[in-house]
Structure 1
């Protein structure tokens, strides 16, 4: 199966998702949050850096839960950041 390349908006949304999760992690270590989420530290690092722009739903849900962020709040935060980013002239 061939994967359709992501467009710029999809890549940007992945970066903003990672930033929101990183901010919610705060001072807690990546190791702590990765273990609580049931994922590897490397996977969490890639999500936070936007290198996995479309992580699996259950992975996002597990990380959000581990950092104490509801999926609703996470979605609102990413949508607001994306809207703000689109208003900034390049």
Structure 2
């Protein structure tokens, strides 16, 4: 799957987080990687000053780190989207 750096693609990623047990927040901070994950409280924080491309890349990195299972999602569209993202590799 090709990563599209659009607001619509970012919305789809955000919807994936909202359907999961993790809370996604955009906050200002001094994150070296652009995000931090608080696994005990299931909160994902992304630097709100990141550009669109940085936010999308950070969310994709986080999703691969969290190892969410498609079966955890009720909606088929979220399951399919997560499966497609798993096949995606970011090239910098």
Which bin holds the TM-score, normalised by the shorter protein?
0.3 to 0.5
Larger gyration radius, structure 1 or structure 2: 1
- Structure 2 length normalisation: TM-score? 0.34
Identify, as 1 or 2, the structure richer in helix.
1
- Structure 1 length normalisation: TM-score? 0.35
Identify, as 1 or 2, the structure richer in strand.
2
